Structure 1
Amino acid sequence: DWKEERGPGKKVTLKMVKKVLKVTAEGRRSVDLSNLGIATFPKCLLKMADVDELDLSRNLLQTLPEDVGSLTSLSRLDLHSNKLEALPEALGQLVGLTHLNVSNNRLSSGGLPAALGALTRLQSLNLGLNRLDRLPPGLAALPALQDVGLFDNLFTELPQFLTAVGTLNAKRNPCSYGRGDGAGDGAAEPRATGLYLAPESSLCRACLYRCRQERPPHRRSTRGDGRGPEEDKRKRTYSGLVSPNSVAAANQDAWRMRG
């Protein structure tokens, strides 16, 4: 199986793409090129203009060509866990796109094109695990947008329009650790009434110490660091998530190539 021959710099041919082309139960034409060590966008994909779903996740892509805008049949594009620092303006030409996942990359806010505001059918946008602190204003006008992932970024406040989306994941941003839940001027109102338990690894040292000191006396450690007895024995594990919707930014390179 050619998909077992994964590795950095792997060349993908049109023949290979046709081999992995599948038709879903809903009749969508889907191509899965995930986790192959692909470092350059395969130009042969531009000859597959009738593909509805394209998965290039968990590869080594650093850039996308402007020609990607010719894939106008795409409704789903998955690019999570690559090394993208910017997205091309040509993405705005994919007007049929309903789902876009670019989480776990190296995107800065300057690398998000204003043309994303042209994706009027977009329902789901995952921008988690990047380096973002603001969004293109045009996203506020997307009428179908209902699911937004902004977790593990650098937002100190969230755009007001996000209060209208059905599902918002903005956990582990600086605004999440301020007073209350980060709501304030220009920030989104809290979307959940339950309690969110942040992992210790996401807290700064001062916050972690303060949380430990607020524990009942019988749960405090006698070692002086605030840890409870049960924590001395606890080992952290990784569950092997396929899509990095809750992974820590510090480990994204190590997890990128896990199959």
Structure 2
Amino acid sequence: MAKGKKSGEPKGKKITLKMAKNALRLTVDGKRRLDLSNMEIATFPKCILKLADVDELDLSRNMLRKIPDSIHEFVNIRMLDLHSNQLENLPAAIGRLQNLVSLNLCNNRLTDVGLPSEVFLLRKLRSLNLGMNFLDAVPSSIGALKELRHLGIFNNNLTRLPESLHSLPNLESLNARCNLIPSDDKPPLDPIQRVECLYLVKESCLCEPCLKRLKEERQKMDSRIDDAPAKKRSMFTGLVTPNSVAQDEQATWR
């Protein structure tokens, strides 16, 4: 083994302050957004702490395994996107981001232990995406997020939904699909609209079981299309973007 290298350490691109500054964007509503998504980053770049006054931080679609406690230095941040990484836990310091409105943690490796209770201290949070993780339960303390409007908890290991969801007065949409919740045990959520969302990731970003399941589902879909009558298949002729609705939903969650 080469000197100075540790076994098992993820390899990734090194981000310099100059690169980070070049990744700064101005959103249509005048917010400063630091977009470091899909850059093969394996370690949280410390240099971006010098840009901690940004309003939005996007570190999605990388190889991050850990978010440091220093994340609390982003005091003005309103949007934090960490989807499609390899995070197994979050620091309690995330609860100090009291201006956070949107938090996307979809497609990581979070468990109940790795999700700190401080997440539910984010009083201004309106959108929380915990989909595609390894959660066995949603803490009842989620009822403290009175401003929450959109909640994604799909593709986890949930066996029930907390009753505290009923205490969320502004909740507009809930995606709880693909869990282990028995249909007869689901509490009535009449005012809550269930929505689906789509994430596009490289196959290399998927774990082996997920990739296997994806290929199996694709084969089933192809089989159904091949077996369908020709008249039904021709309904899609000339349709340029058959997945445009799903793309709109993706934009909603990001």
* Same-fold call, TM cutoff 0.5: yes
Q: Take 1:129 and 1:75, find their aligned partners in 2: how far apart are those partners?
A: 23
Q: Map 1:183-202; keep pairs closer than 5 Å.
A: 183=186, 187=187, 189=189
Which residue of 2 is the match for residue 79 of structure 1? 82
Relative distance call for 1:98 and 1:120 in structure 2 (3 A) is: same
> Residues 42 and 233 from structure 1, CA distance in 2 versus in 1: closer, same or farther, beyond 3 angstroms?
same
What residue number does 1:53 align with?
56
Quick check: 2:128–2:152 contact (8 Å CA) kept in 1? yes
- Going from structure 1 to structure 2, the CA distance change for 1:26 and 1:8 (only over 3 Å counts) comes to same
Contact 2:25-2:32 at 8 Å conserved across structures: yes
1:174 paired to 2:180? yes
Counterpart Cα distance in 2 of 1:136 and 1:112:
10
Q: CA deviation at 1:239?
A: 6.5
Residue number in structure 2 paired with 1:157: 160
- Once the two structures are superposed, what CA deviation does each residue of 1:54-82 show, in whole Å capped at 9, x if it has no partner? 11100000010011111111100000000
2:215 matched residue in structure 1: none
Mapped to 1, the partners of 2:137 and 2:248 lie a distance apart of 23
Secondary structure, counterpart of 2:146 in structure 1: coil
Distance 1:232 1:136, change over 3 A: closer
CA contact (8 A) 1:105 1:129 kept: yes
The DSSP-based 3-state class of the residue aligned with 2:98 is: coil
In structure 2, distance between residues paired with 1:193 and 1:72: 32
3-state SS in 1 of match to 2:70: helix
Q: Taking every aligned residue pair, what percent have the same amino acid on both sides?
A: 43
Q: Which residue of 2 aligns with 1:248?
A: none
1:177-256 equivalent positions in 2, closer than 5 A: 178-180=182-184, 182-183=185-186, 187=187, 189=189, 231=224, 233=226
| TM-score normalised per structure 1 | 0.69
Amino acid at match of 1:231: R
1:77 and 1:55 map into 2 onto residues whose CA distance is 6
Amino acid paired to 1:168:
L
Of the two structures, which has the highest relative contact order with CA contacts closer than 8 Å and spacing of 6 or more?
A: 1
Tell me by how many angstroms 1:138 deviates: 2.8
Match of 1:140 among 135, 138, 143: 143
Aligned partners of 1:72, 1:234: CA distance in 2, in Å?
55
Structure 1: segments with no counterpart, 5+ residues: 1-6, 197-226, 246-259
Question: What is the CA-CA distance between 1:190 and the residue it aligns to?
Answer: 5.2
For residue 124 of structure 2, the aligned residue among 115, 121, 133 is: 121
Task: Say if 1:232 and 1:70 are closer, same or farther in 2 by CA, change over 3 A.
Answer: closer
Contact 1:86 1:111 in 2 (8 A): yes
1:132-174 CA-partner distances (Å, limit 9, x unpaired) = 1222333211121111000001111001122332111001111
Q: Which portions of structure 1, spanning 4 or more consecutive aligned residues, are displaced by more than 6 angstroms? A: 238-245
Q: Closer, same or farther in 2 for the Cα pair 1:11/1:232, shift >3 Å? A: closer
How far does residue 93 in structure 1 lie from its aligned partner after superposition?
0.7
Return the offset for 1:244: 10
Tell me the SS of whatever aligns to 2:34.
Answer: strand
TM-score by length of 2: 0.70
Distance 1:243 1:41 in 2: 30
Larger radius of gyration: 1
Q: Give, as a single letter, the amino acid of the residue that structure 2 aligns with 1:169.
A: N
1:172-197 per-position Cα deviation (integer Å, ceiling 9, x unaligned)? 1111xx244x41xxx45355799x9x
Question: Which secondary structure does the structure 1 equivalent of 2:113 belong to?
Answer: helix
| Distance (whole Å) between structure 1 residues aligned to residue 147 and residue 192 of structure 2 | 21
Q: What runs of 5+ residues in structure 2 fail to find an aligned partner? A: 1-9, 197-219, 229-241
For 2:248 and 2:18, locate their aligned partners in 1 and report how far apart those are by CA, in whole Å.
27
Q: Is the 8 A contact 2:134 2:157 kept in 1?
A: yes
Q: Which moved more, 1:30-39 or 1:128-137?
A: 128-137
* CA RMSD, 1 decimal: 2.9
Letter matched to residue 115 of structure 1? E
